[in-house]
Structure 1
Amino acid sequence: MSEKRILIASLLKPINDTRMFEKLGLSLSKLSGVQVHIIGYKAPLPPAPTNVFFHPAFNFERVSLSRLTAQRTYKQLLENIKPDLLIACTHELLAASRSYCLKYGAKLMYDVQENYALNLTSQRNYPLPARAFLANLVRKTEKKTAPFISHFLLAERSYAQELPFLAKGKYKILENKYKPNARYDTPATPVSLANGPLKLLYSGTIATLYGVFEAVSLAEQLHDMDASISLTIIGYSPDKQTLKHLISLIQGKPFIRLVGGNQLVPHEQILQLIRESHVGLLPYQPNPSTERCIPTKLYEYMAYALPMLVQHNSIWQSILAEKKAGLMIDFKTERPSDILLRIRQQDFYTSGIPQNIYWEHEELKLLEIIKSALTDC
Structure 2
Amino acid sequence: MSEKSASLIPVLIASSLKPAKDTRAWGKLGLSLRESGHFSLIFMGFSQIRLKNSEDEKFYRSLSNTNSRWGRISSQAIFLKTLLRTRPKILICCTYEYLPIASFFKRILGYKLVYDVQENYIKNLDLNPRLSPAKKRKISRLIRGMEQMKGIDLFLLAELCYTEEMPDKTPFLILENKYAGEIKSVSPFKFSLKEGYCFLISGTLTPAFGTLEAIDWFKEILNEFPKSILKIIGHCTLPSFRISLQKACENTPQIQLKASSFPIPNELIITEYSEIDFAVLPYQNRNAIKDKMPTKLFESAALGVPVLISRNPKWLDFLGTFSGGFPIDFFDPQHACQQFRAALHREYFTQSPDDSILWKSQHTDFVLAIKNLNPIK
- Residue aligned with 1:204, SS: strand
> Are residues 267 and 58 of structure 1, via their aligned partners in 2, closer, same or farther at CA, if it must alter by over 3 Å?
same
Corresponding residue pairs, total: 370
Partner AA of 1:365 in structure 2: D
Residue deviations 1:262-308, cap 9 Å, x none? 33322111001112110111111121111111000110011111111
Which of residues 194, 205, 208 is equivalent to 2:192? Answer: 194
CA distance in 2, matches of 1:48, 1:176: 26
Q: Which amino acid in the other structure matches residue 179 of structure 1?
A: A
Aligned match of 1:3: 8
Determine whether 1:304 maps to 2:303.
Answer: yes
Q: 2:165 aligns with which of 162, 175, 178?
A: 162
How far does residue 133 in structure 1 lie from its aligned partner after superposition?
A: 1.1
Q: Shift of the alpha carbon at 1:121?
A: 4.1
Where structure 1 has 5 or more consecutive residues not aligned to the other structure, the ranges are none
Query: Is 1:130 the equivalent of 2:135?
Result: yes
Alpha-carbon distance in 2 for matches of 1:348, 1:179: 22
- Aligned with 2:20 (options 6, 15, 18): 15
- Whole-angstrom distance in 2 between the partners of 1:46 and 1:178: 24
2:246 match: 247
Show the counterpart of 1:265.
264
Query: Secondary structure of 1:80's match?
Result: helix
Alpha-carbon separation, structure 1, partners of 2:369 and 2:50: 27
Mapping of residues 51-130 of structure 1, within 5 Å: 51-62=56-67, 64-121=69-126, 123-130=128-135
TM norm structure 1:
0.93
Secondary structure at 2:176 match in 1: coil
* SS state at 1:281 partner: strand
Measured after TM superposition, the shift of residue 213 of structure 1 is: 0.5
Partner SS, residue 7 of structure 1: strand
Q: Which amino acid in structure 2 is aligned with residue 355 of structure 1?
A: D
**CA distance in 2 between partners of 1:321 and 1:33 (Å):** 39
Letter in 1 for 2:279: G
**Corresponding residue for 1:332?**
331
Per the alignment, in what secondary structure is the counterpart of residue 179 of structure 1? coil
Counterpart secondary structure, 2:199: strand
Aligned residue runs from structure 1 range 18-33, under 5 A: 18-33=23-38
Instruction: Return the letter of the residue paired with 2:191.
Output: L
Structure 2 unaligned regions, length at least 5: 1-5
Q: Corresponding residue for 1:362?
A: 362
Paired letter, 1:54? F
Residue in 1 aligned with 2:3? none
Residue by residue, what CA displacement relative to the aligned partner does 1:230-272 show, whole Å, maximum 9, x if unpaired? 1000111001011111112212211000124233322111001
Kept in 2: contact 1:123–1:289 (CA 8 A): no
- Alpha-carbon deviation of 1:195? 2.7
Once residues 86 and 251 of structure 1 are traced to their aligned partners in structure 2, the CA distance between those partners, rounded to angstroms, is 47
Q: Deviations over 1:95-144 (max 9, x none)?
A: 1111221111111000000011111245434222100111121112212x
What is the deviation of 1:69?
2.0
Please report how far the alpha carbon of residue 46 of structure 1 lies from its aligned counterpart in structure 2 after TM superposition.
7.7
Q: CA deviation at 1:318?
A: 1.0
Shift of 1:375: 5.0
Change (3 A) 1:191 1:43: farther
Contact 1:122-1:288 at 8 Å conserved across structures: no
Q: Secondary structure at the match of 2:204?
A: coil
Decide whether aligned partners of structure 1 residues 374 and 37 sit closer, same or farther in structure 2, where only a CA change above 3 A counts. farther
CA deviation digits over 1:175-221, x for unaligned, max 9?
100011xxx67142213223333101100011111111012111111
Q: Residue 11 of structure 2: SS of its match in structure 1?
A: strand
Q: Give the Cα separation in 2 of the matches to 1:46 and 1:286.
A: 39
Distance 1:10 1:132 in 2: 24
Percent identity for Structure 1 against Structure 2:
28
CA RMSD of aligned residues (A): 1.9
Give matches, 1:283-322, under 5 Å. 283-322=282-321
Q: Structure 1 CA distance, aligned partners of 2:111 and 2:305?
A: 43
